[in-house]
Chain A
């Protein structure tokens, strides 16, 4: 072989590889944090997400051309011991360790997977703790943070996680934070301390007024891949930073001077040789002025409907949305259909509603909007997977849980059973009845009354 040709071919190969690497929006770099911890970054499009060996992570979209201002901060100009201003607390039996107090802290950086793993060990116990930051390739500007523990001891141990996230902008340490309630009557924007659960709101986000040019951040607490935290709190950073686990909010304490968010996953027993993982999803919010649907999981049809409306008048106005999946699909949602909201004068509505669409292939989600006297139909095309069976909603906010199953055959005798995931105890069962025929498949539906049960369940479908 001609050596020149070989060299030429290799250079071409390297160039092509470089091009592919740069063309791929998810890539990673290593930097040094201001306090000296090696810092790793994964890029979700043009937005870097940094992880440090202190076990904190940070997001700096404002460094990029889009000049977004909101970010999670991990470093403050202070003489603290370097845990940063955001940190993870791990509850191990009756002790609490901050991540930087673990031993053997190391990092693993996976380019292919576009993920960073920072891990350490509980002192004097063979329990590995890790934090993984992973891009969600299919969803630009979105990433998952996973906290986990592997129990290598020879006993069952209780492990819980508390994540303190310092939230602010370059200009201000304190910014208003927003939840999404089921109505427009309840307070949604907070500049004071407030504790809630995913029952109250499926996500929290930074609040920017309509005239504000900055881009914000949203943390989904439920949805595909998410482990709903047991509690979430908007807190004053200075007060919360001094605590490592317990924190009780005080509604008289303002967060406007320095805001932070606490997420708790309460301790749970982890068996010998097993692991516990919890995940939560952060995304860069985009300005969204119209109604849209974001399909999260094509296989199950779970997604998020984004509703946006304004009332520029000087009197309250009712806005309603009638949702319909047409003849080709069936939808389930945790709200009354139509969804109705009363907008105060000169106010706006900005909500994300979890919805599950049941069907196959291309379907249409039709949203009939009635804003005062104005009626508008929105046809939102959705591409579901070709194969799907059990489509029971992954998250449900009431005691009556719908069990849904798709089958090609009609007239089947099906039974749905719900069990508590941890104990395996049967919580209830129901016969599934064929309620709708969609594209040669049949939707079977049943409902189980769970009364006051709250937590993780197993949904089982049986053919009788």
Chain B
């Protein structure tokens, strides 16, 4: 009892002063603190993911390359969901046959032959293979039949680009947004895998392709496909450039204007202006100009613009390439001298 009283007394002894002398809470509210650490963490996660995906990609490229190289060099037997059996040209009868001992095989109605390392099917199409197992005395012990389809035809690959394009010197220039349409057909065992290589970076299975085909710059896409028994298609390739860069455009003057600190540029009265544009991609389609403040653009026709009887020149100009990429509007202004420029005496 005394112990309990002591305990209560101690509690009260410490509690009362803490109530009396504790700070009074006036306000409490919530806030968010956004420090750089949160951003650095996200950045680090992204970097790590990028490194891992690069490593994974290298592994897939290596594996895909091995797969493509081995296509047509190994015996393949594929059983379709409906039970139909497809084999390729290297389908070795000795591998598929589990008979141990002297075995004779017969393909369709052809004469019987002893099963050996060189027992292959030759003619594309359906075949019935009969295997007969004999004992040492030449007595038939077992026999079985297998119906297979020898598929020697590789898939057909049709690749097409769809988008706005311009042909220049046999090069094709596309606007960003160009789409690749792929059609792969195989009438026999069916389409197996499709592989794509972008800009010689190595073949990848189509599902693993993460680079866009419409990013700006030159592109070379190579496509291969296999069927279910590893017949490899012909390589199909497409070369084109995605052009999103506008032309560069500038004025060319027949005389150098004077730069005056207060008035800006001062041009000769005989000034003539040429507009030049340059485009590395689809090429310049047209150059346009207008007096500043006017709405309508006029097409520049490769002859000099000669402002006559003007006190100042105020010109806006731009260039458009053959895919419609427009340069930013540029502006040239100068004041025209009142007096003609004196011709220097010889």
Binding site for B on A (CB under 8 A): 174, 195-200, 222, 228, 230-231, 236, 239, 248-250, 252-254, 256-257, 312, 314, 346, 389-390, 392-399, 401, 405, 414-415, 421, 450, 452-464
B82 located at the interface, meaning its Cβ lies under 8 Å from any Cβ of chain A in the complex: no
B345 located at the interface, meaning its Cβ lies under 8 Å from any Cβ of chain A in the complex: no
**Which B residues between 5 and 38 are near A, CB-CB below 8 angstroms?**
23-38
Contact of A249 among B38, B46, B176 (CB under 8 A): B46
Residues of B within 8 A of A458 (CB): 28-31
B30 A457 Cβ-Cβ under 8 A: yes
Residues of A within 8 A of B42 (CB): 195-197, 230-231
B292 to chain A, nearest CB (A): 11
B24 A463 Cβ-Cβ under 8 A: yes
A199 B36 Cβ-Cβ under 8 A: yes
Residues of A within 8 A of B214 (CB): 254, 256-257
In the complex, A361→B111 CA distance in Å?
A: 108
B38 A248 Cβ-Cβ under 8 A: no
Q: From known contacts A199-B36, A199-B39, A231-B42, infer whether A392 and B29 are also in contact, taking CB-CB under 8 Å.
A: yes
A253 B23 Cβ-Cβ under 8 A: no
Q: From known contacts A196-B39, A252-B211, infer whether A257 and B176 are also in contact, taking CB-CB under 8 Å.
A: yes
Contact of B23 among A390, A456, A462 (CB under 8 A): A462
In the complex, A248→B214 CA distance in Å?
A: 20
In the complex, A393→B26 CA distance in Å?
A: 17
Q: Most A CB atoms within 10 A — which of B27, B33, B50, B331?
A: B33
Residues of B within 8 A of A253 (CB): 210-212, 215
Binding site for A on B (CB under 8 A): 23-39, 42, 45-46, 49-50, 53, 176-177, 210-212, 214-215, 328, 331
Q: Most A CB atoms within 10 A — which of B30, B34, B210?
A: B34
Residues of B within 8 A of A453 (CB): 33, 35, 37
Residues of A within 8 A of B211 (CB): 252-253
A459 B28 Cβ-Cβ under 8 A: yes
B57 to chain A, nearest CB (A): 11
Contact of B46 among A230, A248, A462 (CB under 8 A): A248
Residues of B within 8 A of A230 (CB): 38, 42
In the complex, A450→B34 CA distance in Å?
A: 11
Residues of A within 8 A of B31 (CB): 392-396, 401, 456-459
Contact of B27 among A195, A197, A239, A461 (CB under 8 A): A461
Residues of B within 8 A of A195 (CB): 42, 46
Q: From known contacts A196-B39, A248-B46, infer whether A459 and B212 are also in contact, taking CB-CB under 8 Å.
A: no
Q: From known contacts A252-B211, A458-B30, infer whether A199 and B23 are also in contact, taking CB-CB under 8 Å.
A: no
In the complex, A358→B28 CA distance in Å?
A: 17
Residues of B within 8 A of A200 (CB): 39
Residues of A within 8 A of B328 (CB): 346
A463 B212 Cβ-Cβ under 8 A: no
Residues of A within 8 A of B331 (CB): 312, 314
Provide a sorted-by-A list of 23 A–B residue pairs whose CB atoms are within 8 angstroms.
A228-B34, A248-B45, A248-B46, A248-B49, A252-B215, A253-B211, A254-B212, A256-B176, A256-B177, A256-B214, A257-B212, A314-B331, A389-B26, A450-B35, A453-B33, A455-B32, A455-B38, A456-B30, A459-B30, A460-B25, A460-B27, A460-B28, A463-B24
Q: From known contacts A195-B42, A254-B212, infer whether A457 and B33 are also in contact, taking CB-CB under 8 Å.
A: yes
In the complex, A461→B24 CA distance in Å?
A: 8
A188 to chain B, nearest CB (A): 16
A61 to chain B, nearest CB (A): 24
In the complex, A390→B25 CA distance in Å?
A: 12
Q: From known contacts A254-B176, A254-B214, A346-B328, infer whether A454 and B38 are also in contact, taking CB-CB under 8 Å.
A: yes
B35 A454 Cβ-Cβ under 8 A: yes
Query: Which 5 interchain pairs have the tightest Cβ spacing?
Result: A462-B23, A248-B49, A390-B27, A454-B38, A461-B27
In the complex, A236→B214 CA distance in Å?
A: 12
Contact of A401 among B28, B33, B37, B210 (CB under 8 A): B33
Count of inter-chain pairs, beta carbons less than 8 A? 132
Q: From known contacts A199-B36, A239-B210, A452-B35, infer whether A248 and B53 are also in contact, taking CB-CB under 8 Å.
A: yes
A233 to chain B, nearest CB (A): 9
In the complex, A463→B24 CA distance in Å?
A: 5
A398 B35 Cβ-Cβ under 8 A: yes
In the complex, A355→B290 CA distance in Å?
A: 43
Residues of A within 8 A of B50 (CB): 248, 250
Q: From known contacts A197-B42, A461-B27, A462-B24, infer whether A236 and B212 are also in contact, taking CB-CB under 8 Å.
A: yes
A257 B177 Cβ-Cβ under 8 A: yes
Q: Most B CB atoms within 10 A — which of A395, A414, A454?
A: A454
A197 B46 Cβ-Cβ under 8 A: no
Q: From known contacts A254-B176, A462-B23, infer whether A397 and B34 are also in contact, taking CB-CB under 8 Å.
A: yes
In the complex, A195→B44 CA distance in Å?
A: 12
Q: From known contacts A250-B210, A454-B38, A462-B26, infer whether A396 and B46 are also in contact, taking CB-CB under 8 Å.
A: no
Residues of A within 8 A of B26 (CB): 389-390, 405, 414, 461-463
The chain A residue with its CB closest to the CB of B22 is: A462
The chain A residue with its CB closest to the CB of B23 is: A462
Extra A-B contacts (9), CB below 8 Å, given A390-B29, A453-B37: A197-B34, A253-B210, A314-B331, A392-B31, A452-B37, A454-B34, A457-B31, A459-B27, A462-B26
B32 A222 Cβ-Cβ under 8 A: yes
B315 to chain A, nearest CB (A): 14
Residues of B within 8 A of A248 (CB): 45-46, 49-50, 53
In the complex, A239→B211 CA distance in Å?
A: 11
The chain A residue with its CB closest to the CB of B242 is: A254
A331 to chain B, nearest CB (A): 17
Q: From known contacts A196-B39, A248-B50, A257-B176, infer whether A405 and B27 are also in contact, taking CB-CB under 8 Å.
A: yes
In the complex, A91→B173 CA distance in Å?
A: 44
In the complex, A224→B344 CA distance in Å?
A: 73
A232 to chain B, nearest CB (A): 9
B38 A199 Cβ-Cβ under 8 A: yes
The chain B residue with its CB closest to the CB of A247 is: B49
B34 A389 Cβ-Cβ under 8 A: no
Residues of B within 8 A of A463 (CB): 23-24, 26
B162 to chain A, nearest CB (A): 12
B103 to chain A, nearest CB (A): 51
B126 to chain A, nearest CB (A): 37
Residues of A within 8 A of B30 (CB): 394, 421, 456-459
In the complex, A407→B29 CA distance in Å?
A: 16
A459 B176 Cβ-Cβ under 8 A: no
In the complex, A395→B26 CA distance in Å?
A: 21
Residues of B within 8 A of A174 (CB): 177
Residues of A within 8 A of B33 (CB): 396, 401, 450, 453-457
In the complex, A200→B36 CA distance in Å?
A: 8
B331 to chain A, nearest CB (A): 8
Residues of B within 8 A of A392 (CB): 29, 31
A396 B210 Cβ-Cβ under 8 A: no
A160 to chain B, nearest CB (A): 15
B92 to chain A, nearest CB (A): 41
The chain B residue with its CB closest to the CB of A401 is: B33
